[in-house]
Each structure stands twice: as structure tokens, then as C-alpha cells.
Structure 1
Amino acid sequence: MSKMRTILLVIRTNLMMMMMTTTLKKNGFPCRRRSASLMETLFECPSLLFFFKSCLQALLAICAVCSSTCLVAINNIRGSLAMFKTTCRHGHIKEWYSQPMSGCMALSNLLGGGASAILFSGCSSVKAINMLKSVNIMTFSKRTFRHIQNAYLLPTVNLMRERQQSSLLEVVQGKQLTVGGDARCCSPGHTAKYGSYTVMNLKDSQILDTQLVQVTEVKNSHAMELEGLKRCLALLQRKGVTMKNIVTDRHSQIKKFLRETHKDLCHWFDVWHVAKGIKNQLLALSKKAGCEAVFKKVAVHHQSHLLVSSIKQREQ
């Protein structure tokens, strides 16, 4: 939980810095004017409460100057922000905002209860906005969410990831690393549109790099894994990272690529994939007449133990 709060604090800091330097149109988005207490507001991250409109109107119906009855009117509603204007019979006029402002941006639209809360919690923006509107809670539109996401949230996530990756690669420079790589596609089979390839330092389980590949960038979906590996290795080489061993699955294109272009890199096969291949062979054999697969799982686990033990003995 403390690590998650630290990440959210860094994200809020990056959002604050971007808001201080970004200028957009005034249709619910920030302008050049910024509140002096913006930094304190973002770092404090106050709790958010929901109120009924009638309760707020009853609270604002008393003038703070002369204690007489006021006429309460809602000047404007911008997302989750409500702008009230009170006028008493003695002519005292007061404007009250339901949340802090940063120029033209209401902070709740951006931070807690707003776009960042929806995106960073993994919720569907459409479902979250429809849920709030179904109970008459004021919120922004789907179009406004997409604007805030593209202007602030996604650039902030990319900036944070680049900083963490740079600091991580600086630590491992000059070391002989043993890395592992594998791909993940958006759908099984041969109809995947996107594929991500991740390279991890096997000593401390730190993710060194992740590359996203679209199927239109390569010949077919089967070639996305090789392209992702090429991009990861190219980036690590540009950053001065030295690799001694690499562990992958038994992808035929990857085997050929590493054998021909990275002869100094020792290529290992993942034990899980080897055991999975043996399991499939035993399963096919068990379907023949007179064969049984009673010890199939035991044989696979024993094979995994033998492979791991042989690797440890070789290293010793």
C-alpha cells in the first residue's frame, strides 16, 4: 500500500508540473493562470465528499456577512465542479466553488474522483461515467475524459516509466546480466493485433524494457515476438547494458536470430516451456492403445527438476 501511495504521489507531482506548463482551450481545460496553493493541494490530496445539492443550498442560504437570508443560484456546472453565487437582501454577493481550482481546471476532474482515478484504477471510463450519471452525480463527459487522458495522464505515465527505466539501467550498467524475455498478445491464435515483449533481469526480477508491436508493422502476427525482442535488445545495447545469457521460449525465429546475429550471447530455453513440450508429447502418447498417462505430471515435474539441477551444477 505504501508503494502504491508513493507511485500516486509521483504521478500527482508530474501532473502538477505538466499543468503548470501546458495551455489548452478554456472549455473545461486549464489556461495559463494557476493557483498559488496548487502544490499544497496536490500533495495534501484531501478527502472527497459527496453532498446533495439541496444541502449545499441550505448551507449557503445564510449570508456570512450579515446573517440574512440569501438567494442561492448555480452559475455554472463544469464536470464535477459546481459554481454557486449567493446574494443577500443587503447586496452582499459571494461566489463559492465546490472544489479547488487550478486556473480553469477543477482539481477533482483531474485527480481524485476524476479522470486519473478512473484510469489508474483500471476501471472502464464508459462504465464509470455511466454509473455516476445514473445516480445524478455531476461528472464530465466521455469526450472530456479523453481530452484529459491524452493531455495529462498518458504523458505522465510515460514520463514516469522513462525515469524509472533510466535509473534502473544506470544501476545495471557494467554488469554481466542474465535476462529473460517473453511475449504476450492481445488475443490467442494467429489473429492478434498487438503484442508486447518484455525483458526482465532474472537476478532481481526487474523489468528492463517492454516493447509494443502492432501486427501491421511486421509480416504477420507470428513475427511480432521476434520484432519485440529485436527492439528490446537494441534499446538495451544503446543504453550500454551488457548481457551474458538470455532465456526465452523455443520460438524458431528467435533461435535463428540469436544464433546468427548475437553469437556472443548464450541462449537458454525456459524450463517451463521444455516441460510443457514433454507434457504434450506424453499426452499424445497416452492416447495410443495400451499406453497410460498415470505418471504424466510426475514425469514432467521430475524433468523440470533435472533441468534446473543440471543448470545449477554447470554453474558451480
Structure 2
Amino acid sequence: MKNLEGCPTMKPKLRPNAVPDIPLTQPTTAEPRPPIPKRGGYEKRRQAEILQLANDNYKRDTECVQLQVPDSTTEPELPTSNVTEKNTSKVTMVTKTTPPPSLKAVKHKKSQSYLRPQQRTRKHQTDLKITQPSATYSTIATQTDDDITKCTCASIVTTTTNINSAQNSDDDEVFSHADSDEEYQPSDDDQSSDDDGDDNGEHKNYRLNAKATTEEQKQFLVSESALAELLSVCRYCSSEAVPVIQVSKGTLIVTNSICVNGHLSIRKSQSSHNNLPWSNLMTATAIMLSGCNATSVLRIFDHLNVRMFSMRTYNRLQSLYVSPAPTMAWDAEQSSLLEQLRGSDVILPSMDLQTKKILDFQLIQSNEVKGSTHMELEGIKRALEFLKDYVNIKEVVTDRHSSIKKYMRISQCDKKHLFDVWRVAKGVSKKSEAAAKKSGGKDIRPWIKSIVNHIYWISSSCGMDGDLKAAKWLSIMNHMCNKHEGHSSIYPKSDHGELSQDRLVEGSVPYKKMKAVVESKYLLTDVPKLSPVYQTYALEVFHSVMNNFAPKSTHFFYSSMLARLCVAALHYNENCNRDRAYTKDGVQCFSMVYPKAKKGKEAVVKSRPSPATYDYVLLIKQAVVSRKEDDCSSYSNTAGDVQILQNHFPVSLTQTFEPFQKADLIERHRSRCQR
């Protein structure tokens, strides 16, 4: 900034006559000025502080403080100049005050001395560039017995460690119990849940195993920054090194680290077999065993920036190594089951309904038969032909497929052919619902649930008596008209009284529509063959498992589809007879669901099973590793072996089609005249 003359102002300087800011006292005989009394509300608020100050002065100066009450007859002698009198109606406080010293006018010049002593920093007195290791270390490892049979203080050590880690943690979830609301009431699902949220319990204090097999060793994700920090230190001289990824092959990376002293360190992220990284093969195996789509899984890895192989590599690994392994594992499982059941009576369809185990399944391609409508019949023919050499087929429970009924009546007349009650009830329910939607049929809808229950009651109460089943089924029309006697000679009278539901008028439009459904020719033929005990609900569960491993909306080649069906069969057989889940207090767990058939009007509970197991996964992984190491160590040998296996597969659907050239199709697509 400049002054009016245009010249810059000078910085302020210390004057020669400056003196330090040291107060100098002067003796004085003048009377001190009495303090101005404070009145009003402020004085009332300060009374407590004044009393406390008087008490402190009394203790510090050891002066006598006398309290005078106005009503007292005797007054103590008080100093004349040192009394501060307050309101006479209250307690009078007497203190001795000392007049403040008189001060000269002073000039403040800040501090004029060095307050911080001088220091000397010697820093490091060693050479940072060490060309050779400065010390030699000898690792003795642990000197205790690894086979500890009993540890009495393990729980105490674990508890202490958890407390310390919780106190030093920045995670808010660690103190979720301490900060939670005392009035919080957990829901029923929270109280019945056994999950404590600790999904890493098995990996705490986990000791890395350098000798773990390929199929058993664990995989961990390591970020680029953490890997760079780990590889930036030379393992020979502990100096700084520059890590560089030299080779990247799918999940495998090979790094070179060169330090300032010229030491070279080469590290591999995993082991390989004939230039094939094991994690590439295990990842391709895991994709199939989980039932996932390879395209989606590879996209997940791409979004995570995780190095992964391409789709072409996955298809090659799947066809050469992965797909044959589940087939071999299923063959071993199937042989074991059939040997256990050899010569015994079983009830099919394609599974033993007594043990709920899958004994056999057949994969049919549409070009193997006349059409898609013949595929189900061809499948049951092959299954019965295969199983007849091992077990004695006593009964066969299927749906009401017309071609299957004819085949069982003519070619398999020595076996009892029964129908699943759930499928029959489902068909009757749909037809009744369709009749209720027509004009004049709204009175049928309240009876649909009773009709379905009536079908289940018929199958469970009549045993194998087909005539009694038919008679009870026809009596439903009299039930709806509130008639309970005179049904037939076999079933003359109902076992219950009058019904509370609104009855149908005989001869009315709803009655005629319902009679057409009940007295259907095909239904009256199938009702006597309702299965009294065994149903195919377990088979429907297996179908849902199949849809998980081999979705219908996804195209798979024949070999891949067969492998995924083998995985589904292995998974179902291992988990079909799981125990019920219980809480820690021994209470059985239930789940509330809304059935689709009830359309949200009713809710039911289902017992929750225990968690599924996956022991078959390790067997399949071992088969994949064995196939790579022993049987087919190279791509050429593996391709020849796969070609032999594929000779038993049916020809593809496109093999009989007329071949086209892609270039010609592109040109025709771009040409205006060819459209």
C-alpha cells in the first residue's frame, strides 16, 4: 500500500527509548475507591458465587469471617474501611481486601528472548545402500508339539483377542450391541434365526498350508496396491524393488522384481501343469458345479477387474476336462445305489419313491424320436429297460400322459401303473376354475377347494380299490346338492352331516357345468388308478434342482447338458433326506410362504431344512485333477478321448441342415434386391 505522496510506508521499528513491559509499583496512601454496588437481577444471580469466593478467601488468608444477623442483640467489632455490606435483611458477608498496587504507564514490546533451546539432529548414521545382508538368521520354527489334545484356556484367549480387536476397530458394527436401543424388540425371524452374521469364523487364525492339494486349497483376492506393496521389497536385501507383471495367462501372473542392488525375484501366483494354470481349470469347474452361466460369471470378474480367461478358453476347458468328470462321478454313484437295491422291490418314476433317491435319468434329443411329444415316452422306455437288470419294479407312478398309459397297459402289463394325485387334482382344479369363469358359473368357485380335498381323501381312504374310488368321486355331485345318502351300492351314505356351504340347485347352470367336469370320460377312467401312498412331489423337487443347474432358457450342448444333469442328480441324492433345522434352544424352524395356487389369500408354514451339503463337489474336482494329471495331460490326448466319448452322443440338430456361407448371408442381408 502507498501513502498520499506515492512512497511506500516504512515498516515499524523499535524506538531507542523503549522499555520492557514490567509493572512498577508505587506506594500510595489514598483511600481505595469503594466498589460500585451491583443491583437488580444480576446481583441475585451472583450471590452463590460471592459466597463461594468468600469461603475460599477465608480458608486461604486464615482471616476471621464474622456473620452478623440484624436481629442479634450484640454486634461484633468490624473494620471501618474493609466492610462490604449487602442487604441488611440477609446474611452480611465481611471480608478483608487489599488495595491493588498503583502501576506506571508501560510500553508492551512482546517477548525479547529466545525461549526454545538449540537442538542438534544427527538423523541416520548408517549407510542405507547395503550390498550384502547385515545379519544371518536361523529359523528354528515352533518347538512345541503340534498335536495338542486339549486346550483349557483357548476360550479365554479368544475372548480377550476379540475384545481388543473390537476396541481398536473402526467398524461401527463391532459396537452394534452397545449402541443399540434398549427398547428394540427383535422380530420373530430374528429370534428364530441361527445366523449370527459371522461368515468368516472358519478363516480366523487360519494357518496357510503350502502342501494343500489343488482341489482343496483356498483362493484369495489380492488387490493391485497390496500386491505392489508386497513385491516392492527385495527378499534378499530388503531394499526397494520395482515389480513388473511379466506373464498374464487367465488367473495366472508371473512377476519380476528388480531391486536397486540388482537382485531379481521371480514369483508365480499359482502352480501349473503343462502350462495350464490350475486356477483356470478350477474356475471353469466351479462355474459348472454352481449351475451358473459362464457369460455372466466372466462378466462379474470383468466388473471386479479380476484377471480371468476368455469365453473361448472356458469352452475348451469345459469340453476337454470339466464335462467328463461329473459323468464319471454319477456313474460311480449310480452303480453304488443299484448294488444296494439289487433284487429289491422299488416304486418308480425314475427314482425310488421309498428312499427318494434318483436311480436313473435319460437325456433325449428331439431328433432321436419322431417329435417332441414322443420324448417322454422314449425316456420311460429307456429307464425301465436299464433298471430291469438291477431291481424289481413293482409300481410305476406317472402323470396321465396318454402315450405312457397305452405303453404301460400293453408292454408293461405286469406292473401296476398309478397316477400322481397332485397332477390329477391340479387338472380338476383348472377345469373347475375355467367353468366358474363362464357365464352363470360363479357359484362353482366356493366349491373348488372342497373338490380338490375330496380327491386327496379318495386316494388315501380307498387303498387299491378302484371301484370304491370311482363311487366316492361321483358322490361329490350329491354333496354339492346337500344330499348325503343313496350315492351307490358300493358307497351308499356319506360319513358326515349337512354342509354349511351354499348348495347347488340340481339342474341349474352351475350344476350342469360342474357335472361335465366330474363325470368326464377320461377322468372316470383315471380316478381308480390314483396312487394311495406314493406321490411324485419329490420328483418335482428334482425338476426344480435341474432347472437350477441347467436352466431351460439357456442353450447347452449335449455334453454340457449331460454333465449338468449329473451334477443335479448328485446334489439331489446328497440332500434329499436332510434333517429339519432347529435353533440353538431346540425349537424347530419354520418359514412362512404364500402358495401361488392360493393367490395370496392364504399363507402356510413350511419346516425349514438344515443347510445343504456339497461333498460331491470335492469328488468332481478330484476327478478333474486326475483327468488332467494322469489320463489326459495334453490337449491332443484329451481331444482324442473326448471324440471317443462323443461318438455315443446323438448328432446335433443342425448337422442335418443345409450348410450356408456366412459371407453370402451378409451380402444378401446388405443387398436391397435380395430382400
Quickly say closer, same or farther: Cα 1:38–1:244, change in 2 above 3 A.
farther
Q: State whether structure 2 residue 340 is matched by structure 1 residue 162.
A: no
Contact 2:228–2:243 (CA under 8 A) maintained in structure 1: yes
What does residue 303 of structure 1 align with? 455
What does residue 54 of structure 1 align with? 225
What does residue 73 of structure 1 align with? 244
* Counterpart secondary structure, 1:295: helix
Distance in 1 between the 2:431 and 2:216 partners? 59
The Cα shift of 1:97 comes to 0.8
Match of 1:108 among 248, 258, 279: 279
What does residue 207 of structure 1 align with? 358
The Cα shift of 1:284 comes to 4.5
Alignment of 1:121-200 (within 5 A): 121-180=290-349, 199-200=350-351
What does residue 184 of structure 2 align with? none
CA offset digits 1:169-222 (Å, max 9, x no partner): 111111111112xxxxxxxxxxxxxxxxxx111101111111111111111111
The Cα shift of 1:140 comes to 0.6
Distance in 1 between the 2:346 and 2:439 partners? 45
Contact 2:432–2:444 (CA under 8 A) maintained in structure 1: no
Contact 2:247–2:253 (CA under 8 A) maintained in structure 1: yes
Of 126-135 and 78-87, deviating more is 126-135
Distance in 2 between the 1:55 and 1:303 partners? 66
The amino acid across from 1:82 in the alignment is I
Match of 1:267 among 403, 409, 417: 417
Alignment of 1:250-261 (within 5 A): 250-261=400-411
Relative to total residues, which structure has the larger helix share, 1 or 2?
1
Distance in 2 between the 1:52 and 1:292 partners? 66
Quickly say closer, same or farther: Cα 1:38–1:169, change in 2 above 3 A.
farther
Contact 1:271–1:308 (CA under 8 A) maintained in structure 2: no
Q: State whether structure 2 residue 234 is matched by structure 1 residue 84.
A: no
Report how many aligned residue pairs link the two structures: 258
When the two structures are superposed, what TM-score results if normalisation uses the length of structure 1? 0.74
Quickly say closer, same or farther: Cα 1:120–1:304, change in 2 above 3 A.
same
CA offset digits 1:225-261 (Å, max 9, x no partner): 10111111111124x2210111111111111111111
Distance in 2 between the 1:123 and 1:134 partners? 17
What does residue 377 of structure 2 align with? 226
Distance in 1 between the 2:338 and 2:439 partners? 52
Q: Percent identity?
A: 36
Distance in 1 between the 2:210 and 2:408 partners? 52
Match of 1:293 among 445, 448, 453: 445
Relative to total residues, which structure has the larger strand share, 1 or 2?
1
Quickly say closer, same or farther: Cα 1:69–1:280, change in 2 above 3 A.
closer
Q: State whether structure 2 residue 377 is matched by structure 1 residue 237.
A: no
CA offset digits 1:291-312 (Å, max 9, x no partner): 5221111111121121122227
The amino acid across from 1:253 in the alignment is S
Contact 1:177–1:242 (CA under 8 A) maintained in structure 2: yes
* Counterpart secondary structure, 1:41: coil
Q: State whether structure 2 residue 418 is matched by structure 1 residue 249.
A: no
The amino acid across from 1:40 in the alignment is A
Distance in 1 between the 2:401 and 2:211 partners? 50
The amino acid across from 1:220 in the alignment is G
* Runs of at least 5 residues in structure 1 that lack an aligned partner in the other structure: 1-36, 181-198
What does residue 45 of structure 1 align with? 217
* Counterpart secondary structure, 2:221: coil
Match of 2:288 among 115, 119, 122: 119
Distance in 1 between the 2:269 and 2:210 partners? 16
Contact 2:250–2:309 (CA under 8 A) maintained in structure 1: yes
Distance in 2 between the 1:285 and 1:115 partners? 52
Quickly say closer, same or farther: Cα 1:262–1:313, change in 2 above 3 A.
closer
* Runs of at least 5 residues in structure 2 that lack an aligned partner in the other structure: 1-208, 467-531, 534-675
Quickly say closer, same or farther: Cα 1:97–1:134, change in 2 above 3 A.
same
What does residue 368 of structure 2 align with? 217
Contact 1:82–1:98 (CA under 8 A) maintained in structure 2: yes
Distance in 1 between the 2:395 and 2:371 partners? 28
Structure label with greater radius of gyration:
2
* Counterpart secondary structure, 1:152: helix
Distance in 2 between the 1:38 and 1:59 partners? 18
Distance in 1 between the 2:210 and 2:221 partners? 22
Distance in 1 between the 2:258 and 2:417 partners? 77
